[in-house]
Amino acid sequence: MDYIFVQPGMSPKEIVKKVRELPGVCFVSVGMRDAGQSDYKNRLRIYDLKTLAPYYNEMGLFAAECHGGARWHVGIMNRRESPFEEIAILRELMPKVLLQTLIRETNMWGYRPYPKNIIEYVVERVDIDVWRCFSFLNDIRNMRTVAEVVMKKGKLFEPAISYTVAPWFDTKYYLKVVDEIVALCGGVDEIILCIKDMAGVGTITSVTELIDAIKQKYPDLVINYHRHITDGLAMPVLLAAAKVGAKIIDVQEDTLVRFYGHSPILAVEALFKEMGIPVHLNRKAAEKAVEKVREWIREYEWAESPFKGLDHMVTRHKMPGGAFPSSFEQAEKGGFLYLMPYILQVMSLYNQIVKYFDVTPGSQITWVTCSGIVNRYAKERGDVGVQHVINLLKKFVEEKKQDFSAMEPEEQEELLQLFRNAPGDFKNLLLGHYGRLPVGWPDEWVYRSAFGEAWQEKIKERKEESPLEAIPDEDLTLLRKQLEEEIGRPATEEEFILFLMHPKDAIDFIKFREKYGIAPLVLPTKVWREGLKKSGDKVEFEINGKPYCIELVSISLENEGMVYIVLKVNNKNRVFEVATPRAKKVEIRKATKFNEIGAPIKGTLWRIGNPQRGPLKIGDIVHKNEEIANLEAMKMENPILAPFDAQIVEICVRANQIVEEGQLLFVLQPVESLTPSETTRLEEVPC
């Protein structure tokens, strides 16, 4: 039996109709994106993930979430894979599967709101079938551009409501958000609604109530429920969601499941079946995929979170599954992993003061703000300080119900300092740069705390309109030029898009790939991470179907910071020189300022001065266009002229020295800027 019921190329209307017609539920596998993001810091490589593709191609999934979120950025930064390559590989290996991305409305796949013209340019050019789009503020206005471009190009738009459980985010609130979505998308026939429970805090009651309410109002709206598992209660809640009408459920391969991702696909299928809910799934293919994961998942143990285990306390601090690993990573790098429990406590109080959804970029803002507060107290006053600030916030939030005037004067004073060192993004959030906060702006004291005396002016500056309206378009031609200058050649369309999302990291990525080619795509994970260990170890791969074999012959001992490695590349011995961090780096000063004269090309600086006046020394006055040195390269002479009347402050090279292009030769001081005393003083310097 063929399980494929939706395929790339179908119109959104057709896809929605197919899902509606299913007798029960179907699955999205997040094995290729959110599973890795939640438990493996997004380090799962396409080299391994693509082994699942042939099974996905037969499984009868609704879609494969394989793109977007932080996978894009971590891809270019840490895995050195481009999201475009991943799409191309998956399209080839699973042509029958809808590819799904996760996009953060105006923040797209980055962490800042992009201008409208960039959003349009990028969304138009990314080949994805299902566009799941969420706003961490549930500011549906921000989705407009993505929705328009996606729907115009005939792809399926899947707006998501960011979901959490809090007294102020009640069913009425969510229904209003759904109303806005339905209005934006012109009805319910060409979209699928996602309920994105990114911390995994929905309860049987709350989720049943919400989906039931939505279905009553919009009976034809197809609902996809996405829920992380950290609280330990995911599967019963998924069951409840399905019972009440959710048609699509997010799951992942059982063997990928750890503590922060999603429920196991085979287990969910079994549970639903037992409870009488038909599941559209080729279980045999799914079993094979689950089995396949075992072949490579052990290679990623290093990437797993140091805090292992489920924890129902997530329902308090609400850190989303996807944000856990990166938070741990940063805490570990910053040496404050031991503060994690306190930071989580502060988060659970903070999210009652400034109310939004802890998901990118909100989760980063929460994390940096809260970890910053805890770190500051820890540094200044140790553990006692940390406990003190938690008690202070507990008193304010729980006891005094956030009544600022009810706090003691010195406590008020302390609260007014709480956000003074908060990150710029936190301040931008308060100023509306990301859009409207979901249930209104925070209290005045938060602004006083963040901005000090300027708080009233800042409140006036606060933007009520969507960043789509507020952010001016950027000059794409100019940006492309910047990139091309940086890489020294024309950029491909894909490179340009990477650059638009993350300028600095995209350039690093492009340069990495120029140097190391397709190594990230063809090397097995063990070799990718550790290389070859002992003589005779080899790795085999193909390029355009041609077999290549690289075998380690020997690694030399380190000598003056250099290691020499002999590899057999298709039977031919080659020596590779590798500089260790201990390699002596000859620092070459480069001319950068207007008064610094650099070498125009590489060559021998055979003369300092000119034949008329002989050699120059420090303190000499030279005149505009006077030859001050001469550089010979391949028997051609290149006079170096003084750009203005100047005194020589420093001669940085010796005569007959070989100099690099751009190497600093002279430091000059313009004559007009010299005072008489300076002239004397400089001339006294012995040369």
Partner 1 sequence: MERKIKKVLIANRGVPAVRVMHTCRDKNIKTVAIYSTPDRLAYHVFLADEAVHIGEGPPLDSYLNMDKIIDVALRTNCDAIHPGWGFLAENPEFAEKVESAGLIWIGPPPQVIKLMGDKIRAKRVAQRANVPTIPALLKFNSIEDILNWMKEEEISFPLMIKAAYGGGGKGMVKVENKEELPIALEKARSEAKKAFGDETLLVEKYIERGRHIEVQVCADRYGHYLHFYERECTIQRRNQKILEEAPSPSIDDNMRQEICYTAIRLMREINYQSLGTVEFLLDPKTKRFYFLEVNTRLQVEHGITELITGVDLVSLMFDIAEGKPIPFFQEDILPNRHAIEARINAEDPRTFSPSFGTVTRLEIPQGPGIRIASGIYEGAEVPPYYDSLIMLVMAAGPDRKEAIRVLDRALSRGLRVEGVKTIAPLLLSIIRHSEFIEGNYSTRFIEEHYEELLSAFREKTSDDEALKIAQYIAEVSALGPQKWM
Give the binding site for partner 1 (CB under 8 A): 43, 77-78, 302, 488-490, 515-519, 522-523, 527-533, 539, 541, 543-544, 546, 548, 550, 552, 555, 563, 565, 567, 569-570, 574-576, 578, 580-581, 601-604, 610-611, 625, 627, 630, 632-637, 639, 641, 658, 661
Q: Which residues contact 431 (CB under 8 A, 6 or more apart)?
A: 458, 461, 462, 463
Preceding amide of 54 cis, omega within 30 = no
Directed axis angle between helix 493-501 and helix 476-487, to 10°?
A: 100
Q: DSSP code of 593? A: S
Helix (H, G, I), strand (E, B) or coil at 47: helix
CA distances from 186 to 140, 158, 190, 191, 211 (A): 13, 13, 8, 9, 20
- To the nearest whole angstrom, how small is the minimum distance from the Cβ of residue 576 to partner 1? 3
- To the nearest whole angstrom, how small is the minimum distance from the Cβ of residue 300 to partner 1? 11
Q: Which residues contact 584 (CB under 8 A, 6 or more apart)?
A: 560, 561
Order of all β-strands in the sheet with 636-641: 636-641, 627-633, 603-608, 657-659
Nearest CB to partner 1, comparing residues 438 and 520: 520
Nearest CB to partner 1, comparing residues 27 and 72: 72
- To the nearest whole angstrom, how small is the minimum distance from the Cβ of residue 85 to partner 1? 14
- To the nearest whole angstrom, how small is the minimum distance from the Cβ of residue 615 to partner 1? 15
Secondary structure in 3-state letters for 131-162: EEEECCCCCHHHHHHHHHHHHHCCCEEEEEEE
What H or E segment, with its residue span, contains residue 665? strand 664-670
- To the nearest whole angstrom, how small is the minimum distance from the Cβ of residue 547 to partner 1? 10
* Nearest C-alpha neighbor of 79 from the set 515, 497, 525, 498: 525
The DSSP secondary structure of 196-255, one letter per residue, reads EESS----HHHHHHHHHHHHHH-TT-EEEEEE--TTS-HHHHHHHHHHHT--EEEEB-GG
CA distance 195 to 160: 6
- To the nearest whole angstrom, how small is the minimum distance from the Cβ of residue 577 to partner 1? 8
* Nearest C-alpha neighbor of 294 from the set 43, 55, 52: 52
- To the nearest whole angstrom, how small is the minimum distance from the Cβ of residue 45 to partner 1? 10
Nearest CB to partner 1, comparing residues 173 and 541: 541
Nearest CB to partner 1, comparing residues 277 and 527: 527
Nearest CB to partner 1, comparing residues 347 and 539: 539
Nearest CB to partner 1, comparing residues 117 and 604: 604
- To the nearest whole angstrom, how small is the minimum distance from the Cβ of residue 93 to partner 1? 21
CA distance 653 to 602: 13
- To the nearest whole angstrom, how small is the minimum distance from the Cβ of residue 602 to partner 1? 4
CA distance 263 to 257: 7
- To the nearest whole angstrom, how small is the minimum distance from the Cβ of residue 490 to partner 1? 5
Helix (H, G, I), strand (E, B) or coil at 629: strand
Structure-token match 């993505």, residue found: 146
- To the nearest whole angstrom, how small is the minimum distance from the Cβ of residue 537 to partner 1? 9
Order of all β-strands in the sheet with 596-598: 596-598, 664-670, 646-651, 621-622
Structure-token match 């891809």, residue found: 75
105 neighbors 142 (Cβ within 8 angstroms): yes
Burial 84-98 (b: 16+ CB within 10 A, else e): bbbbebbeeebebbb
* Nearest C-alpha neighbor of 198 from the set 59, 10, 29, 360: 360
- To the nearest whole angstrom, how small is the minimum distance from the Cβ of residue 672 to partner 1? 23
Nearest CB to partner 1, comparing residues 127 and 329: 329
CA distance 517 to 539: 16
Nearest CB to partner 1, comparing residues 43 and 116: 43
- To the nearest whole angstrom, how small is the minimum distance from the Cβ of residue 567 to partner 1? 5
CA distance 158 to 247: 13
Nearest CB to partner 1, comparing residues 43 and 292: 43
Nearest CB to partner 1, comparing residues 56 and 496: 496
Nearest CB to partner 1, comparing residues 309 and 611: 611
- To the nearest whole angstrom, how small is the minimum distance from the Cβ of residue 521 to partner 1? 9
Nearest CB to partner 1, comparing residues 81 and 105: 81
Q: DSSP code of 40? A: S
Burial 47-63 (b: 16+ CB within 10 A, else e): bbbbebbebbbbbbbbb
Nearest CB to partner 1, comparing residues 284 and 538: 538
Nearest CB to partner 1, comparing residues 282 and 663: 663
Nearest CB to partner 1, comparing residues 399 and 514: 514
Q: Which residues contact 391 (CB under 8 A, 6 or more apart)?
A: none
Q: How many CB atoms lie within 10 A of CB 467?
A: 23
Label the pairing between strands 222-227 and 63-68: unpaired
- To the nearest whole angstrom, how small is the minimum distance from the Cβ of residue 87 to partner 1? 21
